[in-house]
Amino acid sequence: MQLHHLIDRTFQAFQEQAANARVILLHPRSRYRSVLVARLINSADLKVFYYAMGQDDINLPSFLTGITHDLANQHPTFGRHTNILPQDSYENLDVLLDTFARDLAEISDEPYYLILDEYDRSDSADDVQMFVEKLVSKLPPNCRLVINSRTLPRLPWVSLIAQKKAVLLEDDHLIRRDFYEIETEGKNKLEVYALGPGYVLMNGQPIDTWEGHLPRLLFFFALDRPIITRSEICQAFWPELDTDQAVNVFHVTKRRLHKALDMDVLVHDGGYYRVNPELAIRYDVMDFVEALMEGRNEDNPNRMAAWQRAIEIYRGPFLQGHTDRWIVDRRRDFQSGYLEALTEMAYIRLKEDRPEQALGLFQRALAEDSSRENLHRDIMQLYTRLGRRSEAAAHYQRLVEDLRRDGREPLAETQSLYKEIMS
pLDDT in tens, 325-381: 999 999 999 999 999 999 999 999 999 999 999 999 999 999 999 999 999 999 999
Select from 144, 174, 204 the last residue of a domain: 174
Residue 316 CB coordination number (10 Å): 16
Select from 152, 174, 196 the last residue of a domain: 174
Contact of 157 with 168, CB cutoff 8 Å = yes
Q: How confident is the model at residue 387 (pLDDT cuts 50, 70, 90)?
A: very high
pLDDT higher than 90, residue 3: no
Residues 6+ positions from 385 with CB-CB distance below 8 Å:
355
Q: Which residues pair with 201 in a beta bridge?
A: 191, 206
- The helix (run of H) or strand (run of E) holding residue 147 is strand 143-148
Residue 99 domain boundaries? 3-174
Q: Would residue 355 count as lying in a domain? A: no
Say if residue 113 is in the same domain as residue 185.
Answer: no
**Distance, CA of 402 to CA of 321 (rounded, Å):** 25
Say if residue 126 is in the same domain as residue 227.
Answer: no
60-74 mean pLDDT: 96
- Residue 224: the pLDDT is 95
Handedness of CA 190, 214, 177, 180 (dihedral sign): negative
Select from 174, 209, 224 the last residue of a domain: 174
Task: Kindly report the length of the chain.
Answer: 423
Say if residue 112 is in the same domain as residue 249.
Answer: no
Q: From residue 380, give the alpha-carbon distance in Å to each of 150, 392, 396, 423.
A: 50, 5, 7, 14
Q: Would residue 149 count as lying in a domain? A: yes
Question: What CATH number does the domain containing 189 carry?
Answer: 1.10.10.10
Say if residue 166 is in the same domain as residue 193.
Answer: no
**Distance, CA of 80 to CA of 78 (rounded, Å):** 6
pLDDT higher than 90, residue 172: yes
- Residue 12: the pLDDT is 94
Question: What CATH number does the domain containing 98 carry?
Answer: 3.40.50
- Residue 423: the pLDDT is 85
Q: Would residue 190 count as lying in a domain? A: yes
Tally of structural domains, the chain: 3
Q: Where are the alpha helices (DSSP H) in 106-212?
A: 126-135, 157-162
Report pLDDT digits (tens) over 274-322: 999 889 999 999 999 999 999 999 999 999 999 999 999 999 999 999 9
Say if residue 385 is in the same domain as residue 241.
Answer: no
pLDDT higher than 70, residue 73: yes
Q: How confident is the model at residue 44 (pLDDT cuts 50, 70, 90)?
A: very high
DSSP state string for 279-290: EEEEEHHHHHHH
**Distance, CA of 3 to CA of 405 (rounded, Å):** 62
- Residue 1: the pLDDT is 58
Give the global pTM: 0.93
113-121 mean pLDDT: 97
Say if residue 170 is in the same domain as residue 201.
Answer: no
Measured between its terminal Cα atoms, the distance across the chain in Å is 62
**Distance, CA of 271 to CA of 287 (rounded, Å):** 29
pLDDT higher than 80, residue 107: yes
Q: Higher confidence at residue 215 or residue 7?
A: 215
pLDDT higher than 80, residue 186: no
Q: Would residue 353 count as lying in a domain? A: no
144-168 mean pLDDT: 96
Residue among 75, 69, 21, 13 at smallest CA distance from 39: 13
In a 10 Å sphere around its CB, with 0-12 CB exposed, 13-18 middle and 19+ buried, how is residue 209 labelled?
Answer: exposed
pLDDT higher than 80, residue 183: no
Say if residue 164 is in the same domain as residue 28.
Answer: yes
Q: Would residue 378 count as lying in a domain? A: yes
374-396 mean pLDDT: 95
Residue 412 CB coordination number (10 Å): 8
Q: Which residues pair with 275 in a beta bridge?
A: 266
Say if residue 307 is in the same domain as residue 336.
Answer: yes
249-274 mean pLDDT: 94
pLDDT higher than 80, residue 2: no
Q: How confident is the model at residue 87 (pLDDT cuts 50, 70, 90)?
A: confident
Q: Would residue 400 count as lying in a domain? A: yes
Mean pLDDT of the chain: 94
Residue 156 CB coordination number (10 Å): 20
- The one-letter amino acid code at 314 reads Y
Q: Would residue 129 count as lying in a domain? A: yes
Q: Where are the alpha helices (DSSP H) in 278-422?
A: 284-296, 303-313, 325-351, 355-368, 373-385, 389-405, 412-422
| % of the chain surpassing 70 pLDDT | 100
Say if residue 163 is in the same domain as residue 291.
Answer: no
Say if residue 158 is in the same domain as residue 247.
Answer: no
Say if residue 170 is in the same domain as residue 184.
Answer: no
Q: Would residue 358 count as lying in a domain? A: no
Say if residue 125 is in the same domain as residue 229.
Answer: no
pLDDT higher than 80, residue 185: no
